[in-house]
Amino acid sequence: MRQVLQRTEKVSNVFENAFQALAFVDMGRRTTINDVAAAAGVSVATVSKAVNGRYGIAPDTVARVLKVVQELGYESSLVASSMRSRRTGVIGVLVADFEPFSAEILKGVGAELRGTQYDLLAYAGSHQVEGPGWERRSLQRLSGTLIDAAIMVTPTVVSASADIPIVAIDPHAGRADLPTVESDSFSGARLATQYLIELGHTRIGFIGGRPDLRSAGLREAGYRRALSDGGIAFDSSLMREGRYQQQTAREPAMSLLRSPSRPTAVFAANDLSGIAILEVAAELGLSVPGDLSVIGFDDIPEASQMTPPLTTIRQPMQTLGATAARMVVALMAGETLEATHILLPTQLVPRATTARLRQ
C-alpha cells in the first residue's frame, strides 16, 4: 500500500510541478506564461483563456497570443499539444488526500482505463490546507490544460462548474448536479448494526464520518434504523464524530471507551476509524472481541491485516473507480448516460473483532 501511495503521489507531483511551471525552454532559458503575456501585450488570464480556447477574447487577440506562444517554443509542451487538438488524452482523479480509500479508487480507475487511449492523472487537492471547495480550484488549474475530464473522490462541493465532463464518487451531502457513483451506505450500516444486535449487543456505539458527505449521513441513518428495528432505544451518548480519518477518530474513540457506561460494541463509519478504535482499546487494556466488539466499513487492505483482523462492511471500492471511469469516458464521447446516479451493493465480512456478548 505504501508503494502504491508513493507512486500515485509521485505522478501527482510531476504533473503539479509541470502545471505550476507552465514554462518552456527557449535558447537555454526558462520562459514562463508571464513572458508570453508580456510579449503579447495582454494579461496572464488572457493568455490562459486563449490557450484553453475559452470564450471572451477577440479572435485577433487569440491569434496574437498563439503566435507569441509558438515563437517562444510553446509547441514542444504538453499544453501546446492540447492547444492544437483541444485534447490531452488525460483523465484526472481529484482526491482530498492519498489514503487507503482513494488508493483503491485509483486502482479501479487505472484498471478500467488500461488499454484505452486515456492516461490517468492522480491529483491531491490538499483539502486540509485549502479548505472546502478545493475541487473548484483544482479544476481551474487542470481543466483544459492537463485533463479532458475529471473524477472527484469524496468532494466537499455538491456541484462544480467546468468545461469538462465530471463524475463524483461518494458525493457531498445534498442534491448532486453531477453524475455520481456510490456504495449503499444505508444498507451497509444497517447490516453492520443488525449483526452486532444478533450477537447480543444492545449498547452499541457509533463513530461517525465526515458530516458533509452523504455517505456519513446514510451510515448514521442505517445505524439508527437497525437499533429501531431491534427494539433498542437510541442513545446519543454513544455517538461520536470521527470524520473518516484515523487520527481524528482517536479522541472520540477514547472518549467513548472511557465513559462510565461504555458500549460493548462499536460500529465505525469507516475502517480507518475502526482501526483507531482498536488502537485505543489496546491502550486502555480492553480485549477485542472479549470486552469490546468492533466493526468497520470499507474493507480497505489494512482491515484484514490488523491483529485481530477487523470485521467490516465491504464496499466495492475498485468497482466504484471503474464505474466512474466508464461514466466519464461515455460523457467524453458525447453519450447520454443510462443512469446518472449509480448505487453499488455492500456486504458483511465477519472477522475476528466481533463476538457474542459475554453474559
- Span of 81-95, 154-168, 192-206, 304-318 with lowest mean pLDDT: 81-95
**Helix ranges restricted to H, 22-91:** 33-40, 44-52, 59-71, 78-85
Q: Which residues is 205 bridged to in the sheet?
A: 266
Q: Which residues is 7 bridged to in the sheet?
A: none
pLDDT digits (tens, 9 = 90+) for 177-222: 889 999 999 999 999 999 999 999 999 999 999 999 999 999 999 9
Q: Which residues is 341 bridged to in the sheet?
A: 180
Task: Domain ranges for the chain, please list them.
Answer: 32-85, 90-183+318-344, 185-315
Which among 38-52, 80-94, 166-180 has the top mean pLDDT? 166-180
Higher pLDDT, 327 or 86: 327
What pLDDT score does 143 carry? 80
Under the banding of pLDDT at 50, 70 and 90, the label for residue 75 is very low
Under the banding of pLDDT at 50, 70 and 90, the label for residue 62 is confident
Taking the domain 32-85, which CATH number applies? 1.10.260.40
- Residues near 3 by beta carbon (within 8 Å), at least 6 away in sequence: none
Q: Are 106 and 114 in contact, with CB atoms under 8 Å apart?
A: no
- Do domains 32-85 and 185-315 share one topology? The answer is no
Write down the pTM of the prediction.
0.76
First to last CA, the chain: 40
DSSP states along 188-234: HHHHHHHHHHHTT--SEEEEE--TTBHHHHHHHHHHHHHHHHTT---
- Please give the Cα distance from 297 to 310 (Å, whole number): 10
CATH of 90-183+318-344, one of 3.30.379.10, 3.40.50.2300, 3.40.50.2000, 3.30.70.270: 3.40.50.2300
Q: Which residues is 349 bridged to in the sheet?
A: 312
Please give the average per-residue pLDDT across 157-173, as a whole number: 83
185-315 is classed in which CATH architecture? 3-Layer(aba) Sandwich (3.40)
Residues in the chain: 359
Under the banding of pLDDT at 50, 70 and 90, the label for residue 82 is low
Statement: residue 48 has pLDDT above 90: no
Grid-cell match 485481530, residue found? 308
Residue type, 226: A
- Span of 37-41, 76-80, 158-162, 179-183 with lowest mean pLDDT: 76-80
